[in-house]
Amino acid sequence: MKLSVPRRVPAVAALALAGLLATAAPAASADPAAGPQAPVSALAAPDIPLASVKAHLNQFQSIADSNGGNRAHGRPGYKASIDYVKAKLDAAGFTTSVQQFTSNGATGYNLVADWPGGDVNRTVMAGAHLDSVGSGAGINDNGSGSAAVLEAALAVSRAQLQPAKHLRFGWWGAEELGLVGSRYYVNNLPSTERSRIAGYLNFDMIGSPNPGYFVYDDDPVIEQTFKDYFAGLGVPTEIETEGDGRSDHASFKNAGIPVGGLFTGASRTKSSAQAQKWGGTAGQAFDRCYHSSCDTTSNISDTALDRNSDAIAHAIWTLSAGTTEPPGDLYENTADVAVPDAGAAVTSTVTVLGRSGNAPAALKVGVDIKHSWRGDLVVDLVAPDGTAFRLKNSSGSDSADNVITTYTVDASAEAANGDWKLRVQDVARYDTGYIDSWKLTF
Ligand code: DTR
Ligand code: CA
Ligand code: ZN
Ligand code: ZN
């Protein structure tokens, strides 16, 4: 049973779309065992060496130790952290810029680093807040995210990666004061620049000593990219439920930019069920040193930090890959689905992901149904929200064979992304057949 992957018109195996990636889901009633196709255009990301990430954490710890015990907004330890990260990126060939802002009467700094090349109209960003609270060095919160994003960026440089999409990295100031730095960055981007950001990946606390593995449930393509990675490790994930508004992704989400990210937990307590699947200690906080002076280099789970660092690299490589051509338009499923004689309706699914906005007013629905006496058949297109569009009614007198045609549907009220289904029912006895293939062209 052959499952197709979305193909561009002309049929090029391209998986990059306006925002991110698309994959065809197997037809639900065709071959449940067949899993989704891997994006053929994504290169494999390198392993991110845990030792390199921890070396950055050691630097952040030293900086705090030498600057009053913290790396907080407005304090010398924060600017020293910015200078450390910037120097690494400048040496690695990034185009860096430091953006100043004022908060609580003190100067704050954002660091933004662009990797030259790629389509700037489809910019993929990854970021982390670099500031700590005043009470400590902030190694998990958020040296962990800052160090992992830094090392992923350095891996891009080591690989001399040339992705289709442009890569940009950000380290934000004054997150602990209320997402001040990231909001300042987003709000001061011209709207044309904001619309060029295809997605923002946020990493805030990704090395908690009693870790959970949480994935933000925001943009479906970004979420699926992380879930696929952890599934490959055999590590179960949960949806991050306390994240909305709790970190810098909110600044981007509020501007309409697709977001996602990873989180290993803060002061909430790990449940028994979570300890069963992840290990660690039930009844104990994911990070007992959250916002405390004990958030030092000893407050890190190496396993969690390593897994999340590698997941970040996987997401950066995957989401920035793709063709250098404009988005793909055609989604097809060629799995055969038998239509039971005078029986229940069956469906075949294509999954559309990473497009923006609604489907077109002239959505093309190409069907190829092999069936004698086609008058038996009722055919519908079902949108992701369940709205059904009648494509063909039954008609006892139509004794011709097969339904091979293209319908045009006004789907402009329907969101483009999601599972679209072709639904076919044989409502009269004696003739049978099957869905051979069908496709949507946007
Ligand atoms: N606000 C973050 C920590 C935090 C708490 N809940 C979440 C959820 C998702 C990301 C981060 C967080 C901080 O203290 O920096
Ligand atoms: Ca690794
Ligand atoms: Zn914090
Ligand atoms: Zn944080």
User: What is the domain partition of the chain in residue ranges?
Assistant: 44-319, 330-441
Q: Is 240 a catalytic residue?
A: no
Q: How far apart are CA 120 and CA 281, in angstroms?
A: 45
> What is the full per-residue pLDDT of the chain (442 aa) written as tens digits?
222 323 333 333 233 334 454 333 333 333 334 344 333 344 689 999 999 999 999 999 999 999 999 999 999 999 999 999 999 999 999 999 999 999 999 999 999 999 999 999 999 999 999 999 999 999 999 999 999 999 999 999 999 999 999 999 999 999 999 999 999 999 999 998 999 999 999 999 999 999 999 999 999 999 999 999 999 999 999 999 776 789 999 999 999 999 999 999 999 999 999 999 999 999 999 999 999 999 999 999 999 999 999 999 999 999 999 644 445 688 999 899 999 999 999 999 998 887 878 898 889 999 999 999 999 999 999 999 999 999 999 998 999 999 999 999 999 999 998 999 999 999 999 999 999 999 999 8
Q: How far apart are CA 137 and CA 130, in angstroms?
A: 11
Give one DSSP letter per residue of 224-262, joined into a string: HHHHHHHHHHT---EEESS-TTTSTHHHHHTTT--EEEE
What's the 179 CA to ligand 4 centre distance in angstroms?
Answer: 10
Instruction: List pocket residues of ligand 1, CB cut-off 6 Å.
Output: 141-142, 175-176, 204-205, 240, 242-243, 246-247, 263, 266
Among all bound ligands, the one having the nearest atom to the CA of 247 is 1
Which residue is catalytic, options 151, 175, 223, 414? 175
Residue among 78, 242, 269 whose CB has most ligand 1 atoms within 8 A, to mutate: 242
What's the 205 CA to ligand 4 centre distance in angstroms?
Answer: 6
Q: Which residues of 152-181 are buried (b: 16+ CB within 10 A; e: fewer)?
A: bbbbbeeeebebbbbbbbbbbbbbbbebbb
What's the 280 CA to ligand 3 centre distance in angstroms?
Answer: 22
Q: How far apart are CA 166 and CA 112, in angstroms?
A: 13
Q: Relative to the CA of 267, which ligand 1 atom is closest? A: 5
Q: Relative to the CA of 214, which ligand 1 atom is closest? A: 9
Q: Relative to the CA of 290, which ligand 1 atom is closest? A: 14
Residue 148 phi/psi, 5-degree rounding, is: -70, -40
Residue closest by Cα to atom 14 of ligand 1? 176
Give one DSSP letter per residue of 99-162, joined into a string: EEEEETTEEEEEEEEEES-SEEEEEEEEEEE--B-TTS--IIIIIIHHHHHHHHHHHHHHHT--
Distances (CA, A) of 198 to 59, 190, 265, 359: 32, 15, 27, 18
What's the 305 CA to ligand 2 centre distance in angstroms?
Answer: 8
pLDDT, residue 241, reads 77
pLDDT, residue 328, reads 60
What's the 282 CA to ligand 4 centre distance in angstroms?
Answer: 23
This prediction's pTM: 0.70
Q: Locate tokens 């995210």: which residue?
A: 145
Q: How far apart are CA 73 and CA 184, in angstroms?
A: 14
Residue closest by Cα to atom 1 of ligand 1? 246
Give the strand pairing for 197-203 and 119-129: parallel
Q: How far apart are CA 183 and CA 127, in angstroms?
A: 13
Pick the closest to residue 73 from 37, 110, 48, 38 (CA basis): 110
Residue among 263, 267, 268 whose CB has most ligand 1 atoms within 8 A, to mutate: 263
Domain 330-441: assigned CATH number: 2.60.120.260
Pick the closest to residue 221 from 238, 245, 200 (CA basis): 200
Cβ(5)–Cβ(24) below 8 Å: yes
Within 8 A by CB and 6+ apart from 157, the residues are 92, 93, 94, 115
Q: Same topology for domains 44-319 and 330-441, yes or no?
A: no
Radius of gyration of the chain from Cα atoms? Answer: 25
Pick the closest to residue 339 from 440, 406, 428 (CA basis): 428
CATH H superfamily, domain 44-319: Zn peptidases (3.40.630.10)
Q: Helix axis angle, 50-66 relative to 145-159, nearest 10°?
A: 130
Among all bound ligands, the one having the nearest atom to the CA of 142 is 4
What's the 264 CA to ligand 1 centre distance in angstroms?
Answer: 10
> Taken in order 140, 146, 152, 155, is the CA torsion positive or negative?
negative
Residue closest by Cα to atom 7 of ligand 1? 243
Residue closest by Cα to atom 9 of ligand 1? 243
pLDDT, residue 330, reads 87
Q: Which two tokens stand for residue 155?
A: 């891996």
What's the 110 CA to ligand 4 centre distance in angstroms?
Answer: 15
Residue among 217, 246, 263, 286 whose CB has most ligand 1 atoms within 8 A, to mutate: 246
Among all bound ligands, the one having the nearest atom to the CA of 313 is 2
Q: Which one-letter DSSP state was computed for residue 376?
A: G
Among all bound ligands, the one having the nearest atom to the CA of 292 is 3
Q: Relative to the CA of 202, which ligand 1 atom is closest? A: 10
pLDDT, residue 3, reads 24
pLDDT, residue 243, reads 66
